[in-house]
Structure 1
């Protein structure tokens, strides 16, 4: 199985961006660009999940969502869309992180999420183990800043918050550590794209 998983050299800082990506869109690209720049990451892996336990309706077929994400990235050399969770047979982020830590013991991972993810993080399976196992970078999205910073997770781990000016050091920090980062707003969502059937720009390797 290992040969099918993404590659990163030992010691590399890797952003792990999980989600349904149903479909992948310009907002995912904007977050990835911001993460690469602000966190000084070597790689970003999009973890296109088989399903989202928090959503009542299942997403589109995994192979379709993965193909859309890969087309959107357009062969970017440092950002890769993967089906890691499908390969590992994991459903919850906490379990995925345990398996990845065993498979990649020498990487420096950072979990990437939008502010809405922080808002709802306390609803995730074993959410405290997620915070305590990997540094987390939270990126502001439209209308979510106040709710995110007032969330159960943010208040519970307020003492572990890193100032945004130290974001470039996050990958070198030991969990629990999290950082809230402002980024240009991209008023778009997968829900809206599914409703309208719109397409998004690709992420060129040169951007």
Structure 2
């Protein structure tokens, strides 16, 4: 919701990946279970949860985003990632191509935001960073362009969400966004 409001987006597509090439997939719940968990959390008419990567057979974010830009001509797409992903973004397959393909919004999830901002990708793209008070212009910006959004912080990464699901319901803590 923070990104949707601050960026002036019409919709958010929450892409649930079949697996992260940079992480071990052992013990990863089935995709359908993760899609259901994401849908239960999303509960907003303008947030669409999708498993499109499994449907189209892509493994890397760049391939998925390239597919979406080809399939959705005229749609202004923005890639939204958590700040924890920015910290390791330079290890992603074709990360520079992702930055050149479409604008990026980085959402601070809590913790020390200086670490992701000091990461190699953030430093490499520093001159393309928009001021946060200009975040509404990101969707219309020409890539490479990115913004770092501070605001309501949720520590819920996909890993944290899966861990939360494994706890008994009586122990689960409510989440506010």
TM-score of the two chains, using structure 2 as the length reference: 0.88
Secondary structure in 2 aligned to 1:109?
Answer: coil
Which of structures 1 and 2 has the larger relative contact order (alpha carbons within 8 angstroms, sep 6+)? 1
Please tell me whether the aligned partners of residues 85 and 91 of structure 1 are also in contact (alpha carbons under 8 angstroms).
Answer: yes
C-alpha spacing 1:192/1:68, structure 2 compared with 1 (3 Å): closer
Please tell me the root mean square deviation across aligned C-alpha atoms, in Å: 2.1
Q: 1:178 aligns with which of 135, 139, 146?
A: 146
Shift of 1:139: 1.2
Q: 2:69 aligns with which of 92, 101, 110?
A: 101
Q: 1:63 aligns with which of 9, 28, 32?
A: 32
Please tell me whether the aligned partners of residues 109 and 156 of structure 2 are also in contact (alpha carbons under 8 angstroms).
Answer: no
Q: Which runs of 5+ in 1 are unaligned?
A: 1-32
C-alpha spacing 1:201/1:151, structure 2 compared with 1 (3 Å): same
Match of residue 81 from structure 1? 49
Return the structure number with greater helix share.
2
Return the structure number with greater strand share.
1
Match of residue 51 from structure 1? 19
Q: 5 Å matches for 1:1-207?
A: 33-58=1-26, 59-74=28-43, 76-193=44-161, 194=163, 197=167, 199=172
What number of residue pairs does the alignment pair up? 171
Q: Which runs of 5+ in 2 are unaligned?
A: none
Shift of 1:42: 0.1
